Structure 1
Amino acid sequence: MKLVATDLDGTLVRKDRTLSPRTISVFRRLEHAGVFIVLVTGRPIRWISPVYDQLGVRALTICVNGAATYDPSTDTIVHSAPLETDVLSEAVSRLRSEVPGVVFAVERDGGRQMRHEPDFPVGPWEVDHHSVGPASLAEILTRPAAKLLIRAGAQPPDEFTARVAACLSGLAEATNSSSSGMVEVSAAGVTKATALARVARTHAVAQDDVIAFGDMPNDLAMLTWAGRGVAMANAHPAVLAAAKDITDSTNEDDGVAAYLERVYNY
């Protein structure tokens, strides 16, 4: 395998947001051996630096579920596929008419900035963050967005995602990456798989030479595209069913590192 692609949360990163020494060691050995490493995440760019600080590998990162490909060596977005303003407006209009109590937020510029309706709940780590703040819905719709984020109170995540996807059919992609009931919407045709395929082509890596790891529905397209798509032992049932292989252990117990040690005979 010439390219290793991995999701972060629930896959490479532990619940306390750290990477294990074993994981760090394996990825540094991969880089030294010339294996191309790509981080593929739903995270916005503003959440990536703690991973780089720990990993010690300045890997190309596909952020916000494929809408932005980020090069940390130059601090630039090398490819972007946002939701344009007309699509944002149509998506919001459809959801307002179909989903009671729906509220919205957007990730902009690859997730360097987030704007959210005042009633949209944000995590405690985002409160008072200089790049995150409330805005009116009218202001939210004035610029293209890497992701549209949707909440409507407590919701069963898979059922709510399916409801949003049906509402936005033909307009945009809907997925989820957590059990919080938040749905993440990208431009039509934009997934982790499409972004990873683009990166692989750019670096002359064949699909069969790509191994990818993931755990949640937003990883499904990537795992089915990759030559070897590997689900974490702690993965969502749909991911376990779709993957070509499964790690022996979870993200808490070095599942990715242990699997790669076998593949590369470390």
Structure 2
Amino acid sequence: MRLIASDIDGTILGHDGKISTRTIDAFAAAADAGVEIVFVTGRPPRWLEPIREQIGHTGTVICSNGAVSYDLGAEKVLSSHVISWETVSQVRDVILALAPKARFALESLTGLHVEDGFLGGRIPAGSLNVVPAVLGPDIADGGIVKMLAVLHTGSADEFLAAVAPGVASLIAVTHSAPDLALLEMGPLGVNKAVTLARYAAARGIDAADVVAFGDMPNDLEMLAWAGAGYAMASGHPQALAAAALTAPSFEDDGVAQVIESRLSALRRA
């Protein structure tokens, strides 16, 4: 175990915005043992306070499902993959033909731009620090790294099944929403695993030496790529099917339990 790659929401962070003391201590012990830590999340760079403030992480975070690598300590984008406005427009047309009530938002390197009707229902506007906007090609000047589509009824699984066949050749589409029909779309060919693999390779770390944790469909590729990919027992069925290993549930500090066990094994070796 040379590198731990962990998702954030639903894996180490609860709906209350808290990371358990046991989990914080486990990451600290791993770092003290010389294990590199990287967080790999669907969150954008502007929304990483929990791991900076609670864990004290100041290294790299792979954000926006792999579209952005971010130096949290320096608050600096290290690299990014962007979506063209032409692709956004094509994808929007396809989704609206299949789901006319869908509403959209664009995450750029300068903020989250939402169209009228995107917020409301089950999305808490106050927590997102959004910029209301008419979505247009000028937003691409800020570097679009994620496209979001929401329906205020139904589930993310249902929404994904309905639109994925129509957009899969244009854009990477997934979701990480357990209770909301919210789709996350990024540059074609980019996902958490692709960017994590590059990060590890740059440090001379093979997939076999990576322990990864995740709980939702946006973690599938990462869990399959890592030498030890752990889906949370409390996670989505697709994540559990994709991973070779299962960690105890989030509620039982599953990530901490696995890290503790693996560190103990390293000490005995």
Residues 74-83 or 180-189, more deviating: 74-83
Q: Report the AA paired with residue 262 of structure 2.
A: V
- AA at the equivalent of 1:134: P
Instruction: Tell me the TM-score normalized by structure 2.
Output: 0.92
Shift of 1:219: 0.4
Give the distance between the partners of 1:57 and 1:97, measured in 2 at CA.
43
* C-alpha distance after superposition, 1:133-177 (max 9, x if no partner): 111122675443111000122122112112221111211111010
Residues 172-191 of structure 1 aligned to structure 2 (within 5 Å): 172-179=171-178, 180-191=180-191
Change (3 A) 1:125 1:251: farther
RMSD, aligned α-carbons? 1.6
Partner amino acid, structure 1, of 2:3: L
**Aligned equivalents of 1:82, 1:6: Cα separation in 2:** 23
| CA shift digits 1:178-202 (9 cap, x unpaired) | 1201000011001011110110111
Written as runs of structure 1 = structure 2, the 5 A alignment for 1:9-48 is: 9-48=9-48
Question: Matches of 1:255 and 1:219 in 2, distance apart?
Answer: 16
Aligned partners of 1:33, 1:142: CA distance in 2, in Å? 43
Residue 167 of structure 1 aligns with which residue? 166
Residue 114 of structure 1 corresponds to which residue in structure 2?
A: 112
SS of residue paired to 1:241: helix
- After superposition, the Cα gap between the structure-2 partners of 1:86 and 1:141, relative to the gap in structure 1 and judged at 3 Å, is farther
- CA separation of 1:142/1:27 partners in 2, compared to 1, >3 Å: closer, same or farther? closer
Aligned to 2:104: 104
CA contact (8 A) 2:113 2:135 kept: no
What SS does the corresponding residue of 1:264 show, helix, strand or coil?
helix
Matched-pair contact (CA < 8 Å) for 1:100–1:152: no
What letter is aligned with 1:160?
Answer: F
Quote the Cα distance in structure 2 between the aligned partners of 1:140 and 1:252: 43
Corresponding residue number in structure 1 for 2:253: 254
Identity of aligned residues (%): 38
Distance 2:125 2:55 in 1: 25
How far is the alpha carbon of 1:235 from its aligned partner? 0.9
State how far apart, in whole Å, the 2-side matches of 1:155 and 1:146 are.
26
How many angstroms does 1:96 deviate by? 2.4
Structure 2 residue identity aligned to 1:173: A
Q: How does 1:142-221 map to 2 (within 5 A)?
A: 142-143=140-141, 144-179=143-178, 180-221=180-221
Q: Distance in 1 between matches of 2:140 and 2:254?
A: 42
Cα distance per residue 1:14-39 (max 9 Å; x no partner): 23111111111111121122211110
Matched residues in 2 for 1:181 and 1:254: separation? Answer: 27
Deviates more, 1:116-125 or 1:252-261: 116-125
SS at match of 1:188: coil
- Alpha-carbon displacement from aligned partner over 1:50-73 (angstroms, at most 9, x marks no partner): 321100232311111111011112
2:126 maps to which residue?
125
Q: Which amino acid aligns with 1:255?
A: G
The size of the alignment, in residue pairs, is: 260
